[in-house]
Structure 1
Amino acid sequence: MKPTKKSVQNSWLPLVGYDLVFKVDSSMRGSSGSTSIGDVLRNVNGKFLCLFSLNVDTDRPVVAEILVIHKTCILISSCPFLAYRNISIMSDSNVAVSWINGMLSHVNLLYDIRQILLSRHSLAVTFTSRGANSLTDCLAKAGANLEGDRLEWSL
């Protein structure tokens, strides 16, 4: 028996307590590196009131989602028609929504890291491939079995 794909309903369901809903999304094309964002504004009856789409300069999905939410917020704040309306912005990126709503539990750590990086001109955080990180991967796994911290110097 072949597995069947479940179709996702694209019906309009208004949110209770909101007059208007922006649904936002981003799209990335694999090899071309092209990224675009867009949103749709509907009222409680599902009538289209506004839509936009544009290309953006990022290759990270979560950044694209944050950009579309940002552009939508700018649009809302610049449109008198939307000034006193109850509006919901809906995104399918749980990470972006969590970061924006302050649910990133380590935001203070990120701020501290950035402050330290800015204060030291000879310090940087860079990316390395997983294969080049095997020793530290082993140390991280070993840390799960420790009570307390492990710090060793060999100078």
Structure 2
Amino acid sequence: MVLLRLGWWILGWKDEFPYSPNDIVRNPSSLQWRGNQIHEARKLTSKSAVIWFPPANHVIKWNVDASVQPIHSRSAIGGVLRDHNGKFICLFSSPIPFMEINSAEIIAIHRAIKISLTRDMCKGAKIILESDSANAVRWSNGEEGGPCNLNFQLNFIRNAKRNGLDISIVHMGRSANFVADSLAKQGIHRQSDFIAWL
């Protein structure tokens, strides 16, 4: 939240600054920019650029993301499930109660797992779930930790893994999460949950 507010404040500067508030949140070292260093700025953003890649054969992959608009006190989540050919299997996009970004990412992980448990094809498959929140991934994989108001969701995630869902929750950069990011942003403007199996 501090980095986001700092980014908004920098937008009012007279001097040109090549990064958006979201860039600052994703890569705080961008604040070290000193004046006309366009080459350095490009180097910094390309360093964090990651592309989506398909999972191995017989593996399916969730990408989940959250979107938060502090000005309007809105939050939303989105996710996409794809097979080893990159073919879409399932999409979701949902508004959620307003909360900070790491908490919203936990809700996105929880939702993807909950959806997976409704389908036999997911229960029998090896699943990779990617999120761009290192904190949410760490809390989901850990035995404890995370926001105490989300203990129910975190325990659900941990128990789903223990009770036979073959799922690996991993951290992956935002640029590999473009579809999920778009679905989360759409969720900000939705009145109700959207889910589609394709």
Match of 1:49? 89
- Residue 120 of structure 2 is aligned with which of 68, 76, 80? 80
Match of 1:30? 70
5+ long unaligned stretches in structure 1: 111-155
Q: Which one-letter code corresponds to 1:34 in the other structure? A: R
Aligned residue pairs total 107
Higher relative contact order by CA 8 Å / sep ≥ 6: 1 or 2? 2
Aligned equivalents of 2:58 and 2:64: distance in 1?
16
Aligned equivalents of 1:55 and 1:24: distance in 2?
14
Kept in 2, the 8 Å contact 1:18–1:87? The answer is no
TM-score, normalised relative to structure 1: 0.60
Match of 1:101? 141
CA RMSD of aligned residues (A): 2.4
- Residue 39 of structure 1 is aligned with which of 79, 85, 89? 79
Aligned equivalents of 1:9 and 1:103: distance in 2?
31
Larger Rg: 1
Superposition map of 1:48-67 within 5 A: 48-67=88-107
Aligned equivalents of 1:63 and 1:56: distance in 2?
11
**Structure 1 stretches of 4+ moved >4 Å:** 7-10
Aligned equivalents of 1:11 and 1:49: distance in 2?
19
- 1:69 counterpart = 2:105: no
- CA displacement, residues 69-125 of structure 1 (integer Å, 9 cap, x when unaligned): 111111000112212011111111111111111165x68xx8xxxxxxxxxxxxxxx
Aligned equivalents of 1:22 and 1:75: distance in 2?
11
Which structure shows the bigger proportion of residues in helix conformation?
Answer: 2
Q: Which one-letter code corresponds to 1:90 in the other structure? A: E
TM-score, normalised relative to structure 2: 0.48
